[in-house]
Amino acid sequence: MNQIIGTSVSRKDGRAKVTGTATYGAEHQLPDLVHGYLITAKIANGRILNIDTQAIERSPGVMAVFTHENMPRVFTPTNDWANSQIYETRLPLADDRVHYGGQIIGLVVADTLERARDAAHSAAIEYQEEPVLVTAENATYEDSPPWFGEDFQFQEGTFETGDFAVAAADAPTTLEATYNTETELNSPMEPHALVAHWQGNDSVTVYEPTQWVRVSQGTYAELFGLPTERVRVVSPYVGGAFGAKAFPWPHGILCVAAARELQRPLKVVVSRRQMTANTGHRSQTEQTVRLAANTDGQLIALEHTARTCTSPVEVFSEPCTAVTPVMYATPNLRLGQELAVLNVGTPTFMRAPGEAPGMFALESAMDELAWELGLDPVELRLRNETQEHQRRGGVFSTKNFAACLSTGAEQFGWSQRQMQPRSQQQGDRLVGWGMAAATFPGYRGAAMAKVRLLPDETAHVLTSANDMGTGAYTMVAMTAAENLGLPVEQVRVEIGDSIMPDGGLAGGSQMTATLAPAVMNACQAVLETANAENAQQAFASLQESGRAAYEATGSAAPGEEGTEFTFQSWGAHFCEVTVDEDIARLQITRWVSVMDIGRVLNAKTAASQIRGGVIMGIGSALMEECHFDPASGHPVVYDLATYHVPAHADIPRIEVTFVGEPDLNFNPMGVRGAGEIGIMGVAPAVANAVYHATGKRIRSLPIIPDKII
């Protein structure tokens, strides 16, 4: 057995990405390709009275224009999350209604991008405007419906054990605070874009980045009334997604529909400005946390309520209270979630959806309680550990949260912290140290992979899974190499195509836990087929027999892990900030993250995943916000210059350490996931450090200079 699992292996796809040979969705070159450009609404609520399509059609190079008056027929998909799903259940160009600023109201197709864009921008459109509501404070909230039901283990909505009010009334220490987070945009490097290529009217190839190849395929099949196998989805590379590229959006449906009408390959690229309205975002949140504790810091009662917003055309609530029941033990727990409808685009998943802003509220409140009690915040967390999920039930399969805290504290030098705000200085800057906990559920789905052993002594792994920057190519290659007894260089991985076996979903941090066991089973199956102990023996028997290949498919699915357990990853972040109060300059100068994610498959890419999460969390802590103009209803940010994400200069070296053990109750590889836990707890760690530095408790994100001056 060569020991590849757990080592550091550089990305299999790294060279292709940095040399520009990796082909993304809209980069597929096809003969006779034509270009579509979206027409988007200039009002945020009302009706379209008229679009002068004749004038658009007279524009140079224009071949067609699609509006609600000539939208080609598409069918309503089942939307069952398992076989088909669209993000916004109102179909594109369904009627003359405008529900939010920037909504797609048409598509111009021309021979060049420039001509399509020019015609789309010059379109004369008459509207009937209605009053716009984009201000959450003026919205009417109602109880949130549950997320997707039991299957996905997410639960939200009202929940109560014990009696919060009675318990809190008698407690020696209580705390109540309200926290706000702003609308955030997923902002993947690769914009949303696709090429649709029909072969006649009865089969289509869609080149589109997606986190879930099989469900994209199934969804387009239902939308266009085709058998599943007549739709091919090609997605070998995904340039970031963070939750916003799992299902078709309206622009994708419109592109595929228009391409069928025109019988030409059609490309639609969503501009950065158009992405602010039409490809999802993380809703703003308002959350209240009430804590009651006895004098030694044990929680007697905990209440966490959240308000989030959705669009008029989709119900999507941020499950901010989802992870609260796993964090701290309390006999009296109350959770509540409410949702309001605003004239904004449809929100969706964004890396740890709900959980990340939820953790900002919970972990800020825990820090506030620690100060109130005069307790070290690390110690407060240790005193309140829970060994089971207080909502779902089930003991944690493995939990090394205490080790995350102690290892992080040790590495950071936490014991040197002065237990007083404004007590540490470096020159004329205040220095603050903060920490917060991290957690994320372990999810797992079903997947398949095919393995081929070839006479040139290579192994090929084929699966429809995808790599959105997570390291999936490398993880698959390492798993196969380990199980076949081959060097990783002799494994070729092909992913991201619906003609290959279903590789599952890259979402909810579940691709590794889903796919690695399937790859392992496929490797064992191919060795059995070859009657060999390892790949070398199989290659020798290929030579002898003159066979072209050994091939086998393997699959893995949840179900074997037992119902008594709850699967959860754990972590802790420790950080240092410096604050120059004269110019309100806040810098993050040190960062230590310690994570328990089960078995670490690739030490290098797993640490990079955590770093990516921390960086994204620092973005939400310090800069990311999308406001809507209350008059026009439109987002006031529209590109990566107006919507700030961290640059290199904003980020210190991020030390990442893994602790814990393989979670063999979860799957035979013992892996959970690393995609989302990195962002969990980052924003509160920063806010807690800002308090330690300045004595200012900032309860609203992002912590822009105005808030610390």
Stretch of residues binding ligand MOS (CB under 6 A), selected from 161-169, 176-184, 349-357, 529-537: 349-357
Which is closer to ligand MOS, CB of 303 or CB of 355?
A: 355
Residue 181 exposure: Cα atoms within 13 Å on the Cβ side:
36
The residues, ordered by sequence, that sit 6+ positions from 114 with a Cβ below 8 Å of its Cβ are none
Q: Catalytic: which of 88, 318, 576, 676?
A: 676
- Phi-psi sector, 277: left (phi>0), alpha (psi -120 to 50), beta: alpha
The residues, ordered by sequence, that sit 6+ positions from 386 with a Cβ below 8 Å of its Cβ are 325, 326, 327, 328, 329
Q: CB of 289: closest distance to ligand MOS in angstroms?
A: 23
Which is closer to ligand MOS, CB of 110 or CB of 505?
A: 505
Q: CB of 508: closest distance to ligand MOS in angstroms?
A: 4
Q: Does 249 bind ligand MOS (CB under 6 A)?
A: no
Q: CB of 630: closest distance to ligand MOS in angstroms?
A: 29
Stretch of residues binding ligand MOS (CB under 6 A), selected from 144-152, 221-229, 331-339, 346-354: 346-354
Residue of 604, 613, 602 lying closest to 571 (CA atoms)? 613
Residue nearest to ligand MOS (CB): 243
Q: CB of 322: closest distance to ligand MOS in angstroms?
A: 12
Residue 473 sits at the vertex; the CA angle it makes with 471 and 476, to the nearest 5 degrees, is 105
Number of H helices, E strands in the chain: 17, 27
**Cβ-contact 383, 369 below 8 angstroms:** no
End-to-end Cα spacing for the chain: 59
Q: Does 353 bind ligand MOS (CB under 6 A)?
A: yes
Q: CB of 451: closest distance to ligand MOS in angstroms?
A: 27
Stretch of residues binding ligand MOS (CB under 6 A), selected from 93-101, 315-323, 343-351, 569-577: 343-351
Which is closer to ligand MOS, CB of 51 or CB of 468?
A: 468
Q: Does 351 bind ligand MOS (CB under 6 A)?
A: yes
**Cβ-contact 258, 107 below 8 angstroms:** yes
Sign, CA torsion 488/490/495/501: negative
Stretch of residues binding ligand MOS (CB under 6 A), selected from 18-26, 81-89, 228-236, 345-353: 345-353
As a whole number of angstroms, the distance between CA 430 and CA 423 comes to 8
Q: For the beta carbon of residue 151, count every other beta carbon within 10 angstroms.
A: 11
Q: CB of 245: closest distance to ligand MOS in angstroms?
A: 8
Which is closer to ligand MOS, CB of 328 or CB of 349?
A: 349
Q: Which of 179, 207, 212, 242 binds ligand MOS (CB under 6 A)?
A: 242
The residues, ordered by sequence, that sit 6+ positions from 472 with a Cβ below 8 Å of its Cβ are 465, 466, 495, 506, 511, 512, 515
385 is catalytic: no
Which is closer to ligand MOS, CB of 51 or CB of 246?
A: 246
Which is closer to ligand MOS, CB of 297 or CB of 469?
A: 469
Helix orientation angle between 472-484 and 511-529, rounded to the nearest 10 degrees: 30
Q: Annotate 569-597 with three-state secondary structure.
A: EEEEEEEEEEEECCCCEEEEEEEEEEEEC
* 598 DSSP 8-state letter: B
Q: CB of 350: closest distance to ligand MOS in angstroms?
A: 6
Q: Which of 218, 377, 469, 507 binds ligand MOS (CB under 6 A)?
A: 507
Q: Which of 301, 350, 601, 687 binds ligand MOS (CB under 6 A)?
A: 350
As given in the structure block, the two tokens for residue 237 are 């590379």
**Cβ-contact 196, 107 below 8 angstroms:** no
User: What residues between 210 and 229 interact with ligand MOS by CB under 6 A?
Assistant: 211
What binding mask, one character per residue, do residues 167-206 give for ligand MOS by CB under 6 A, x or -? ----------------------------------------
Q: Does 243 bind ligand MOS (CB under 6 A)?
A: yes
Give the type of residue at 72: P
Which is closer to ligand MOS, CB of 297 or CB of 354?
A: 354
Q: Does 508 bind ligand MOS (CB under 6 A)?
A: yes
Q: CB of 351: closest distance to ligand MOS in angstroms?
A: 5
Sign, CA torsion 541/546/548/554: negative
Which is closer to ligand MOS, CB of 331 or CB of 558?
A: 558
Catalytically active residues, by annotation: 676
Residues that bind ligand MOS (CB under 6 A): 211, 242-243, 349-351, 353, 507-508
